Amino acid sequence: MRKTIVAAMLGAILLAAWMLRAATPVRVMILDGESAGAYHDWQHMTPVLKKMLDETGVFETTVVTAPPAGGDFTRFTPQFSGFQVVVMNYDAPDERWPAELKMSFEKYVSAGGGLVTVHGADNAFAGWPAFNEMIGVGGWRGRTETAGPYWYYRDGALVSDSTPGTAGSHGRRVPFQVAVRNASHPIMRGLPPVWMHQGDELYARLRGPGKNMTVLATAYSDPSNAGTGHDEPQLMVLTFGKGRIFHTTLGHDINGLSSVDFVTTFQRGTEWAATGTVTQKAPANFPTANAVAYRADLAAMDARYRNGLNGLDVAAPR
């Protein structure tokens, strides 16, 4: 009888702890403040990312904006430890952050803080070894073979390629298929094996250390659209010390962000980076292998939406 009572009490305590955890929102910092060019419109993209997170009821989101180029970084001391995950919608050169700030961020992630990098954030900090280990692969900002090999899928396996050359390329922003490479990962569980992503930049020729990196999904970089002819990594997870990282190359602009697959994987990836688990279900309107699906409410947050959803590139700027 006594054992039964003790077991019941223990069960009640565990249930109460689980309910408290479930009711406590995940604390998220969205970090923005700079991009290498106007083509990454972080000022308008951040509110879209915040809306995606806030609407789930899972997250409590705070936006932290870094000083611009030439600003005073001596007073920019974000308290990373107050958050479970940092979402980086930010792209700055190596010299922008002082050594103390870089060390603070390294300590945060290695101690178990989560990190999510969105699209152009993998262009940032090309010469910062720890950051490049966190993201696995990156592009532009002078990256060459010294940053690490190219990474892509060939014959169903992830391969590295040490061929010399610059890092980073893409073609015109058109819809493309995304293929799942790790269906058992919590972020990908329940998603179709192939789906169509709304018009976006398909990042290719990314290179880096690739350490502790698992590729979740790839996309074929079509040579007819300035592509490599390889299945290029698009969604990845990594570890850095005790920290978990979700890296998505998708989401060049609000048009790309509004794709339902971006929303789903971003929401799930942020939860996983913060907690190691995913509680969010895949939506019924997830895209199929041959049809895109997008959120009109998100797309309409771009002032250009009134001119039509697909105001895509004719040429292919970075």
Summarised one tens digit per residue, pLDDT across range 53-63 is 999 999 999 99
How far apart are alpha carbons 177 and 259 in whole angstroms? 12
Helix axis angle for 260-275 and 42-54, nearest 10°, is 70
pLDDT computed for residue 318 by the predictor: 38
pLDDT computed for residue 63 by the predictor: 98
Q: In the 3-class helix/strand/coil scheme, how is the chain assigned residue by residue?
A: CHHHHHHHHHHHHHHHHHHHHHHCCEEEEEEECCCCCCCCCHHHHHHHHHHHHHCCCCEEEEEEECCCCCCCHHHCCCCHHHCCEEEECCCCCHHHCCHHHHHHHHHHHHCCCEEEEEHHHHHCCCCCHHHHHHHCCECCCCCCHHHCCEEEEECCEEEEECCCCCCCECCCCEEEEEEECCCCCCCCCCCCCEEEEEEECCCECCECCCCCEEEEEEEECCHHHCCCCCEEEEEEEEEECCEEEEEECCCCCHHHHCEHHHHHHHHHHHHHHHHCCCCCCCCCCCCCCCCCCECHHHHCCCHHHHHCCCCCCCCCCC
- As given in the structure block, the two tokens for residue 229 are 């002819």
Question: What are the phi and psi torsion angles at 243 (to 5°)?
Answer: -80, 150
pLDDT computed for residue 313 by the predictor: 44
pLDDT computed for residue 39 by the predictor: 84
pLDDT computed for residue 303 by the predictor: 85
- As given in the structure block, the two tokens for residue 262 are 């971006």
How far apart are alpha carbons 261 and 282 in whole angstroms? 9
Please list the ranges in the chain whose pLDDT falls under 50: 6, 14-20, 311-318
pLDDT computed for residue 253 by the predictor: 95
pLDDT computed for residue 37 by the predictor: 81
- As given in the structure block, the two tokens for residue 292 are 């895109």
pLDDT computed for residue 38 by the predictor: 82
Beta-bridge partners for 169: 204
How far apart are alpha carbons 315 and 318 in whole angstroms? 10
pLDDT computed for residue 315 by the predictor: 39
Apex CA 240: angle with CA 165 and CA 93, to 5°? Answer: 45
Q: Specify whether the CB–CB gap between 216 and 229 falls below 8 A.
A: no
How far apart are alpha carbons 150 and 88 in whole angstroms? 23
How far apart are alpha carbons 111 and 34 in whole angstroms? 26
- Work out the number of other CB atoms within 10 angstroms of the CB of residue 52: 22
pLDDT computed for residue 316 by the predictor: 38
How far apart are alpha carbons 111 and 242 in whole angstroms? 5
